[in-house]
Amino acid sequence: MTRLILFGAPGAGKGSVGDCLEKKRGYVRIATGDLIRAEVKARSPLGLQVQEILDRGGLVSDGIIIEMVKQHVQTLNTDGYILDGFPRTLAQAQALSALPCQREIAFYLEVNEDLVVKRLLSRLVCQQCGTIYNTLTRPPQMEGVCDLCRGTVSRRSDDNEATIRQRIAVYLEQTMPVIEYYKGHDRLCTVDGVGSPKEVAERILKVLE
Ligand code: AMP
């Protein structure tokens, strides 16, 4: 089992790049943000509990997130998986290291802060299938409608400027040390995150060859 970890600021392109890698390698992408948003959408007890955290750009508790990831990884029947948005804290990184795998590489998608804010403010997401659009670079053919599944395309509730700034602050404070941890253990590969998701995914695939 191979484990790829995608690190990068909110808006660095982890979701879109992870999607390309999933298609190219047949690995399963596990995006903790997607799992959390599904709970909120379903208005489950957990969803109701975490909605407010999501809206203010905070982190959901380690215990909840670690349990979610463990459950997903246990049911996998593939050669590998891609983690997008996990681990975000040192406690999560420690819990992850207890899950066995033969090969693990963490990729850090490097982009500057101005670019991520611009990307997030112009990002739209299909509420049904999760396809990511961008009002500037990749708008849906018909406004508000997904090209692929005809679902509703709209902005994520946490993609507003105040919440974006908070998410970046949390990222710098909580997740940067995790990235340093992987770097210190020689398990981090830094990749230029500027360019289309396909271009960035190609850079990662070259490292995996
Ligand atoms: P994302 O889609 O990765 O930007 O995540 C959206 C939101 O979900 C974050 O701002 C957090 O509130 C929550 N979340 C996602 N992944 C994690 C994680 N690994 N640890 C804690 N909270 C998370």
User: Is-above-0.75 flag for pTM?
Assistant: yes
Q: What is the per-residue pLDDT for 70?
A: 96
How far does residue 88's CA lie from ligand 1's centre (Å)? 8
Q: Which atom of ligand 1 is nearest to the CA of 88?
A: 19
How far does residue 144's CA lie from ligand 1's centre (Å)? 25
pLDDT in tens, 114-129: 889 999 999 999 999 9
Residue 42: strand, helix, or coil: helix
pLDDT in tens, 53-101: 999 999 999 999 999 999 999 999 999 999 999 999 999 999 999 999 9
Q: What is the per-residue pLDDT for 168?
A: 96
**Ligand 1 pocket, residues with Cβ under 6 angstroms:** 10, 32-33, 36, 53-54, 57-60, 65, 85-86, 88, 92, 167
* φ, ψ dihedrals at 190, nearest 5°: -90, 130
What residues are annotated to the active site? 14, 88, 123, 156, 167
C-alpha to C-alpha distance for 156 and 125, rounded to whole angstroms: 7
Q: Answer whether 17's CB lies under 8 Å from 201's CB.
A: yes
